[in-house]
Structure 1
Amino acid sequence: MEPGGDQKLDTRTANEKALDEWLPVTSSRTAKWWYSAFHNVTAMVGAGVLSLPYALSELGWGFGITVLFMSWVITLYTLWQMVEMHEMVPGKRFDRYHELGQHAFGERLGLFIVVPQQLVVEVGTCIVYMVTGGKSLQKFQQSVCPDCKPLRTTYFILIFSSVHFVLAHLPNFNSISAVSLAAAVMSLSYSVIAWVAPLKRGVHEDVDYSLRSTTAVGQTFEMFTALGDIAFAYAGHSVALEIQATIPSTPEKPSKGPMWLGCVVAYIVVAICYFPVAIIGYYTFGNKVDDNILITLDHPRWLIATANMFVVIHVIGGYQIFSMPVYDMIETFLVKSMRFKPSSTLRFTVRTLFVAATTFIAITFPFFGGLLGFFGGLALAPTSYFLPCIIWLIVRKPEKWSITWCINWICIVFGVSLMTLAPIGGLRSIIKSVGSYKFYS
C-alpha cells in the first residue's frame, strides 16, 4: 500500500517495498482519474483505427458493424472486471496482469498462461508502432515534398526509433504522462480527420458495397483478416492493471473509482474515433477503400501530411505505454531471479537494448502487422476479450446460469472465435507479404 493506505494490511517485506519503489509500474502512485483516461486512449486508439473502413469492406455492413459494436461492449465489460479485481484481496493490489493470473490459476500456471500472451501483445505492438511511425514519417515527407528523392522505409524507421532511445529512460508511467496526453490528443485528431475529410468529399462515384473478394474462399479469408484487425483495435487490456497501479488507493477511497471513471471517458473517446471512421469511410469509398484510409484520401496534401504527423506523435506515446510493462517484467526478473542490483546502469542497459531490438525487427520485417495478426489473434483476443471472464468465474464463482455467468460465457465464446479465426487471416497476410517484399527496401 502507498503512503496514506492501511499499513496494517501491508504484508510486504522491506526489500519488497524498496523494489516496488524502484520498478516502473509501482514507483509512483500519484495519478488522477484523467491519467487513466488518456493512458487508456493512448493504449486503445492505435493507428489500426485507420484500417476499420477496410475491415468493414471485408465483412459487409451488417456483420461488420455488429462485430465492431460487440467488441466495444465486451471489452468495456472485461475492462470493468479487471478494474474491480485489482484490489479484491484486502491489503493487496494486483498491479500487473500476471499477478492477477497467478491469484486465479496458481503461481506457476498463472505466469505460464498470462506472461507469454501479454508479451506478444506488448512487444508485438511496439514493433508494429516502429513500422507505423517510420511509414507515417515517409508518407509525411512524400506529401510535403512530392518531388524530393524518395528514401527507404528503413531510414524513416531509424529516425523514428531515435526518439525512443531518449524517451525509454523516463522512469515510470507517471513520468510519461505528458507524452501519453499528447498521443491521446493526436489519436482523436487524426481520427476526426479520417472521417471529416471523406464526409466533406462526398460519396465516391460508382461506390460499391459488395464484399471485396468475388470468391467464397477469398471472402472467408478476408473475413478472418478483418476480425483480426478489429481485435487489434481493442488491445489496451494488457496494460490496464499497470495503469491502475499508478493511482493512489486507501480502504476508504480505492483506486477502482477514479480508474473506472477514466476508463468510461476513454471508451467514449474510442467510440467517437472508431465508429465514425469505420462507417463514414466505408460509406464514402465502399470496397475501393485502402487498408489505410489516409492513403485513399490522398488530397488535400497538407491535410494528409498533418494527419500522418499526428499518427507519428500518437505511436510515440503508444510505444511508451506498451513498453513500460515490458521494462517492468525484465527489470523484475533481473533483480529477483538473476540477483542484479537495482541501478540506473541496469535500467539504461535494459531499455536501450529493448529499443534496439524492436528497431532491428521492424527494419528487417516491416510487414510485421501480418505476424501480429497471426500471433496477436492468439494473444490479443484472450487478454482483452475472455481471459478476464475466466478469471472472474474462478475467483467470483457466480451461480451457474445466472445473468453474470451467462454474460461471461458469451464473452468467452465470442473471444475464442476471434482467437481461432483471426490467426488464419494473419497467416495468409504473412504469406502474401513475404512473397512480394524486397528485404531491406
Structure 2
Amino acid sequence: MESGSDSKFDTRTAEEKALDEWLPVTSSRNAKWWYSAFHNVTAMVGAGVLTLPFAMSELGWTFGITVLILSWVITLYTLWQMVEMHEMVPGKRFDRYHELGQHAFGEKLGLYIVVPQQLVVEVGTCIVYLVTGGKSLQKFEQLLCPDCKPMRTTYFILIFSSVHFVLAHLPNFNSISVVSLAAAVMSLSYSVIAWVAALDRGRNENVDYSLRSKTPVGQMFDMFTALGDVAFAYAGHNVVLEIQATIPSTPEKPSKGPMWLGCVVAYIIVAICYFPVAIIGYYVFGNKVDDNILITLDHPRWLIAMANMFVIIHVIGGYQIFSMPVYDMIETYLVKSKNFQPSTPLRFTVRTSFVAITTFIAITFPFFGGLLGFLGGFALAPTSYYLPCIIWLIVKKPRKWSLSWWINWICIVIGVLLTILAPIGGLRSIIKSAGTYKFYS
C-alpha cells in the first residue's frame, strides 16, 4: 500500500509520489498510536498552560472554570471531527489542513480560507515559543546566579533560537519523534511542578480573588484577552492532520483508530496539566499572579529552576512540531509553483530563513501575554473551535435541527465570538506592553 491508502485507489503520478516521499509531512508513514499521543501533547501543552492562572484572574472563579471546561470539550469534539474526516474519501488522505479545506470549499477558496489562518497560527506559535524559551532561559540563569550581571532578554532569545538552526534540518515528523517525546514529558513535568510548588508555597496572605482591573471597561478588555489565552492553549488542531499523515492506513485498518486513541490519551494529559495549574495557581496567588506562573514562583529555587529548564526543552519540541507544516507548505510551493528541484540546498535555505525571520520578530516583540491573547483569538479560535464544524456541516450534511447539527452550530457561535473578542483584548495588551517596554532590552 502506497502513501497510506489502497494502491488500487491511488491515482498519483510517479512525480507526485516522488514529491510526497520528499516532503516532510508525507515522507514517512510508520508512526504508532503513541506517536500521536506525544506529538499532540507537545503541540498543545505549551506556553498556554503557564498563563492559565493569569487568565483565571481576569475571568474569575465561575466564568474561568466554565471557559476552561467548555474549551476542553469543544476542542476534543472538533479534534475527533478532523480525525474522522482524514480519510472520508476512499483512496485519498487529507494529509494537510488546507487539503481538507479545499475538499469542502473548493480548490482556490479552500486555500484562501485555511492557509492564511494556519500560517498565522504556526508562525505565531513559533514566535511565542521563542519568546517563552528565551524568558525561561533568563529566569533559569537568574535563579542559579542571582548575583550575576543581568543580560538582556534579547540575548537569551538569540541563545535559545540557536538550537533551532540545527534541529530545523531534521527531515520529517518521525525524525523529530525523540525531541517531541522529550517535550511531551517535560510539559507534564513542569505543569506538575507549577501547581505543586504553588501549593507548597501556600496561599498568599490577604489573597484577592477580585478581577484584576477595577473598572468595567478594563475588566471587559481583560476578559477578551483571557479568552484568547485559553484559546491559545488548544493549538493542536493546526497540526493534527499532518500528525495523522504519519500513521499507516489500510481499508481494513484506517489510521483514524490509532490516531484517535493517541488523541484521547493526549487530552487526558492535557486535563491533568491544565486544570490543576489554572485552579491552584489562581487559588494561591489570586489576581497578583504573573502572565507566566513560573515567573511568579521563586521557591524552592532549585525546583523552579528545573521547571524553567523543562519549559525550555518543551518549547524546543513545540517549535519543531509547528514549524514542520510551514516547511512543508513553503517547500511544496517552491517545487510545484516555482519549479525548484527537491534538494538539500533548497531545504537548508528555506528552514534557515524561517528560523532567522521568526527569531528577529521574537526579539522585536517579546510580549508574552499579549501575543497569546491576540493569536489565540485571531487564528486559533477559527482553526480549533469552529472551522472543523463548518467543514463537517458541508461534507457530512447532518439533518437540520438534529443533535449533530445543533452541536456544530453552538461550537461555531462560541468560536466566532472568540474570534471577534479575543484579538481586541490581546492587541490592547500588546500596546500596553509596548508602552512600558524598552526595545532590545
Alignment-derived partner of residue 52 in structure 1: 52
Equivalent residue for 1:437? 437
- Taking the TM superposition and a 5 Å limit, the aligned residue runs for 1:216-295 are 216-295=216-295
Q: Match of 1:155, as an amino acid?
A: Y
The equivalent residue for 1:139 is: 139
Letter of the 1:7 partner, please give it. Answer: S
SS in structure 2 of the partner of residue 439 of structure 1: coil
Amino acid corresponding to residue 158 of structure 2 in structure 1: L
* Partner Cα separation in structure 1 for residue 223 and residue 151 of structure 2: 34
Gaps of 5+ in 1: none
State how far apart, in whole Å, the 2-side matches of 1:80 and 1:4 are: 20
Query: Which residue number in structure 1 is paired with residue 374 of structure 2?
Result: 374
Contact 2:378-2:419 at 8 Å conserved across structures: yes
Residues in 2 aligned to 1:12 and 1:154: alpha-carbon distance in whole angstroms: 47
Does the aligned pair in 1 maintain the 2:229–2:376 contact within 8 Å?
no
SS of aligned partner of 1:249: coil
Instruction: Give yes or no for contact 1:24–1:173 (8 Å, CA) kept in 2.
Output: yes
Output aligned runs, 1:351-390, within 5 Å. 351-367=351-367, 370-390=370-390
CA 411–328 in structure 1, closer or farther in 2 if over 3 Å, else same: same
Q: Tell me whether 1:82 sits opposite 2:64 in the alignment.
A: no
Which residue is 1:179 aligned to? 179
Which one-letter code corresponds to 2:345 in the other structure? T
The alpha-carbon deviation at position 242 of structure 1 amounts to 0.2
Task: Tell me the TM-score normalised to structure 1 length.
Answer: 0.98
1:413 aligns with 2:413: yes
1:314 paired residue number: 314
* Conserved 8 A contact 1:55-1:229: yes
Deviation string 1:176-233 (CA, Å, 9 cap, x unpaired) is 0000000000000000011111112222211121111111111111111100100000
What stretches of structure 1 move > 3 A for 4+ residues in a row? none
> 2:103 maps to what in 1?
103
- Distance of 1:214 and 1:360 partners within structure 2: 36
Mark the CA change 1:440 to 1:120 in structure 2 (over 3 Å): closer, same or farther: same
Aligned to 1:62: 62
Q: Does 1:21 align with 2:21?
A: yes
For the structure 1 residues 4 and 195, does the alpha-carbon distance in structure 2 shift closer, same or farther, using more than 3 Å as the test? closer
Q: Give the Cα–Cα distance (whole angstroms) in 1 for the partners of residues 272 and 372 of structure 2.
A: 25
Taking a change above 3 Å as real, the CA distance of residues 173 and 201 of structure 1, as seen in their structure-2 partners, is same
Please give the alpha-carbon distance, in whole angstroms, between the structure 2 residues aligned to 1:290 and 1:3: 47
Amino acid at match of 1:326: V
What letter is aligned with 2:208?
D
Separation (CA, whole Å) in 2 of partners of 1:361 and 1:288? 29
SS in 2 for 1:208: coil
Q: How many residues get paired? A: 441
Amino acid at match of 1:388: P
Distance 1:269 1:395, change over 3 A: same
Native 8 Å contact 2:3 2:29 kept in 1: no
1-structure distance, mates of 2:86, 2:311: 32
Report if the CA contact (8 A) 1:37-1:263 is conserved: yes
1:7 corresponds to 2:23: no
Q: Hey, what's the Cα distance between the residues in 1 that align with 2:225 and 2:239?
A: 24
Counterpart position of 1:300: 300
- Which stretch of the first structure deviates more once superposed, 41-50 or 28-37? 41-50
Q: What is the CA deviation profile of residues 382-407 of structure 1, one whole-angstrom value per residue up to 9, with x for unaligned ones?
A: 00000000000000000000000000
SS at match of 1:238: helix
* Counterpart contact for 1:120–1:376, Cα < 8 Å: no
Q: CA deviation at 1:372?
A: 4.9
Preserved contact between residue 209 and residue 287 of structure 1 (Cα < 8 Å): yes
Distance 1:291 1:391 in 2: 34
The equivalent residue for 1:37 is: 37
Deviation per CA, 1:356-410: give whole Å up to 9, x if none: 1111111122126524532441211000000000000000000000000000001
Residues 4, 127 of structure 1: CA spacing in aligned structure 2 closer, same or farther, 3 A cutoff?
closer
Q: Which ranges in structure 2 are unaligned for 5 or more consecutive residues?
A: none
Amino acid at match of 2:157: I
Q: What is the TM-score with the length of structure 2 in the denominator?
A: 0.98
Once residues 225 and 372 of structure 2 are traced to their aligned partners in structure 1, the CA distance between those partners, rounded to angstroms, is 11
Cα displacement (A) at 1:4: 7.4
Instruction: Report the AA paired with residue 284 of structure 2.
Output: T
Q: Identity of aligned pairs, percent? A: 87
SS at match of 1:213: coil
Q: Which amino acid is the alignment partner of residue 299 of structure 1?
A: H
Residue 335 of structure 2 corresponds to 335
Structure 1, residues 242-278: CA drift from partner, whole Å, max 9, x if none?
A: 0000000000000000000000000000000000000
Distance in 2 (alpha carbons) for counterparts of 1:368 and 1:284: 22
Aligned-partner SS, 2:51 = helix
AA matched with 2:122: E
- Specify the alignment match of 2:189 in structure 1: 189
Paired letter, 2:266: A
Aligned partners of 1:433 and 1:111: how far apart in 2?
A: 34
